[in-house]
Amino acid sequence: MFSSLFPLIAFTAWTILLVLIVVSFRTAQVLAGSKKSNEFPAWIQHGSDLYWRIHRAHLNCVEGLPVFAVLVLTFILSGYQNDTFDLLAWIVFGARILQTSAHLSGGGVWNVNVRFTGFIIQYLCFTAMLVILVRSIL
């Protein structure tokens, strides 16, 4: 049987990995003296294109992680078990990796289409997970 807690932990680890890459990039620039610590405004692109894509991919993870966490943790706390819910949780994680990979690979039409597909898959799964959760509680 699948466990939805593991994909939640994997999603969280992925989010942490991305922020560590962002922090490492910024720390290296500050320590090298090429930037001051206040020269990384969130609303303005700064750094290389790859760095900015990593930064944006991390923010995308941060946007989706709370929704995923609420669904999974509420489901676990409900005590209800459902293999479909657990499978959907793994699909969410896979779609997150797809979305991030497409985000990091470039900004062309194909990249954006794949990235959007990953996003849509996640939110379709979130919707299905919410339906399963609501049915299990009622």
SS (H, E, C) 113-135: HHHHHHHHHHHHHHHHHHHHHHH
Domain count, the chain: 1
- Mean pLDDT value of segment 129-134: 96
- Mean pLDDT value of segment 97-118: 95
pLDDT > 90 fraction of the chain, expressed in percent and rounded: 80
Range of the domain at 44: 4-136
Q: Look at the pTM and tell me if it is higher than 0.85.
A: yes
115 Cβ contact partners less than 8 Å away, ≥ 6 residues apart: 99, 102, 103
Q: Can you list the alpha helix ranges (DSSP code H) found in 33-108?
A: 49-78, 83-105
pLDDT at 66: 97
User: Which CATH number characterizes residue 93's domain?
Assistant: 1.20.120.550
